Amino acid sequence: MRLGEKYRPMGIGRFEAALDADGWPLAIAMRTVGDRYDTVDTPAGTNKNLVAEQAVHGLHQLPYYFPVRHYDVHTRNSHVPVGFRRATGSSVNVFYLESFIDELAHAAGRDPCEYRRELIGRNADFPDRDDWLKALDMVAQMSGWGTPLPEGWARGIAIDDRRRPSRAKAISMNSRLPAWLTIRPTSTFSS
């Protein structure tokens, strides 16, 4: 940090879920932290209280089906000088959500792409459901999802559309080398 500059706002998210015997979500509890300098308030969360808009951006309309949702937002006050986030709140919130969906898929013993597809397909209230399924299917096909990888390689997938159009991305990564040398986008799809 150079003299006179401020730190970026810190992001914190905590997600918990209850799964049924088949590994499908019964409920989700999400908690994120807003920044006191985010002066645009929006009604969000379980009780539709006014909260910092960027604390909920990307989580206010979940693409995945959760029968029961609880959303809690806190405003963090700190003595550390912070400036504005250089991206919208969805940049961190979508990272939290997509990482959590991977964790749920792992806990359920299911393929992360198929798990996402099923949860999106079950969410009849999500207006962009068909576009998201199309994007997910296309990037899975383009990346060769489900095909064997060389020893020490892994593949990941994520989807988001906070900046329109819907985007899905799959990457392959060599787990034996430093990440900055080995991450290789295998496909990206925008609808």
Rg value, the chain, Cα = 18
**Structure tokens, 105:** 């898929």
The Cβ of residue 160 has, within 10 Å, a number of other Cβ atoms equal to 20
Residues of the chain with pLDDT under 50: none
pLDDT tens digit string along 98-144? 999 999 999 999 999 999 999 999 999 998 899 889 989 988 998 88
pTM of the model: 0.81
Q: Given this model, what pLDDT does residue 189 score?
A: 54
- Determine contact, residues 24/102, Cβ cutoff 8 Å: no
